[in-house]
Amino acid sequence: MEKPKILVVEDDEAIRTQMKWALTHDYDVYLAHDSSSAMEAMKTRLPQLITLDLGLPPSPEDTTEGLKTLSAILQFDPLAKVIIVSGNPDKHAALEAISIGAHDFFTKPIVIDELKYILKRAAYVQRLESEYRELQRQLKQRQFAEIIGSSAGMQEIFTTIRKVATNDVPVLITGESGTGKELVARAIHSKSARSSGPFIAINCGAIPENLLESELFGHEKGSFTGAHQTRQGKVEMAQDGTLFLDEIGEMPLQLQVKLLRFLQDSKIERVGGRKVIDINARVLAATNKELKTVVADNRFREDLYYRLAVVTMELPPLRDREDDALELAMAFMQKYSSGAGVQKTMSHKTKEAIAAYRWPGNVRELENRVRRALTLAEANMITPADMGLAETEHVPHGLNLKKAKEALEIKLINAAMEKNNGNLSKSADDLGLTRPTLYNLMHKNNMTVAKDDKSQTEEE
């Protein structure tokens, strides 16, 4: 079993040495002589226990520096257990240290056996608290089974989902393509009082403009050519449930007026109908566009924007989600290999490549690559090549993480374009992206796009 880590912060070298020899059998002991070296050790060694002398330089005669260091340590790691070991018997200093968050207060001269008992008890409490926090984190994640993420950004999203789920206010979910906007909308619905009602989704950008009104609001029999029977629209289907309007920024202006009227009055009329229908449905919307810019360009109504964006949730791109990419990759591996009969694993280099890649297509691209690797890999060990990723050792040296990821992105795009003789659509398929997304990435990286490809992409 791993020994707990302890940091001894003491300006007296003789006492530091004495404590190191006394504690080294039960702990991994690290030493610091002032506030600066203590905080450096906190960041690099991550000790669970700290003994702290309050009389630290540059003011060893009082407790000012020691108390500042105590605050800094607990701000860095609130679960750390700090035992004050001080030659200053001042009760006020002891009370202030405890009020800041010190676990215990021990006065010099040091009685090692007593100190060992205090440390043993503190280590036990620290371990219980850490285990409890990890359990809470796992429970929170299980509440959103389809959404995986331990990063700070995703934890904020989970918190917001819990808050907005209990209220029927409209929510606008923003974020790049592939970040999981519909999954978040479904999570809000599942945690709401409407969870027993229907969740009805419609992609406003995937339906031709002349059909979208009928899809949304329904139509009466004979209202137009081909309307052989009366039909409910998506809004009506969402009665007592949730209506999810994906890619709301693509909605035509004339339909925006009708949607605004529904949001204001909770009433609709089918196409070709005169009967007013009362609707009780919550509306959630999503977009990968910057809607304020679309409003400024007079392509989206400002009053509708403010109706939809009572609460706005911005989903972080996968590249900004710390270690979530690897966590998601392992989850997709488990999900898609369960029925394959052969359990495949990822090599260490593959995991490094996943962590280093920028994931321009976000979670959707990651899922696509994992499924592709499981299908095409000949061995049981998934390699970076199976994922269509470059090994991290090929990344140019001397680059920071952002530049290194950009270099990998350019390299993979070039490889796909070369393989497909410059065909943008085929290259996008290989990379797990949409054609417009690939074009935008190439434009961002100042990469050449053939003239016909450019015009086709702009038309899309």
- Average pLDDT on 218-235 reads 84
Average pLDDT over residues 101-105: 91
Please name each of the domains of the chain with its CATH number. 5-136 (3.40.50.2300), 152-314 (3.40.50.300), 319-459 (1.10.8.60)
Q: What is the pLDDT of residue 189?
A: 95
Residue 140 has pLDDT above 60, yes or no: no
Alpha helical stretches, state H, 148-207: 152-165, 181-190
227 confidence band (pLDDT: 50, 70, 90): confident
**Tokens standing for 118?**
């205090």
**Block residue for tokens 């040495």:** 17
d(CA 84, CA 102): 7
Model pLDDT, residue 60: 86
Q: What is the pLDDT of residue 458?
A: 44
Task: With cut-offs at 50, 70 and 90, classify the pLDDT of residue 393.
Answer: very low
277: helix, strand or coil: strand
Most trustworthy range by pLDDT among 125-139, 333-347, 352-366, 423-437: 352-366
Pairing mode of beta strands 282-287, 28-32: unpaired
Local structure of 25: helix, strand or coil: coil
Helix segments in 300-444, DSSP class H: 302-308, 324-337, 348-356, 362-376, 401-419, 424-431, 435-444
Determine the Cα–Cα distance for residues 44 and 77; give it in Å rounded to an integer.
Answer: 12
For residue 300, the model assigns a pLDDT of 95
Report percent pLDDT > 70 for the chain.
Answer: 90
Residues 168-185 have a mean pLDDT of 94
Cα dist from 146 to 6, 158, 170, 366, whole Å: 39, 12, 22, 15
pLDDT of residue 163: 93
Label residue 266 by pLDDT band (50, 70, 90).
very high
The DSSP bridge partners found for residue 287 are: 174
pTM over 0.75: no
- Under DSSP, the state recorded for 17 is H
Amino acid at 280: N
Mean pLDDT estimate for the chain: 86
Residue 419 is encoded by which pair of tokens? 């393989």
Best mean pLDDT range from 22-31, 87-96, 340-349: 22-31
pLDDT for res 174 = 96
Q: Is 50 helix (H, G, I), strand (E, B) or coil?
A: strand
3-class DSSP state of 459? helix
- What are the structure tokens assigned to 383, written together? 């390699």
Question: Rounded to the nearest 5 degrees, what angle is found at the Cα of 402, between the Cα atoms of 399 and 406?
Answer: 90
72 vs 425: which has the higher pLDDT: 72
**Of the ranges 224-233, 259-268, 293-302, which one carries the lowest mean pLDDT score?**
224-233
Residue 156 banded pLDDT, cuts 50, 70, 90:
very high
- Percentage of the residues of the chain whose pLDDT score is greater than 90: 51
Per-residue pLDDT, averaged over 17-45, amounts to 94
Closest CA to 119 of 80, 156, 148: 80
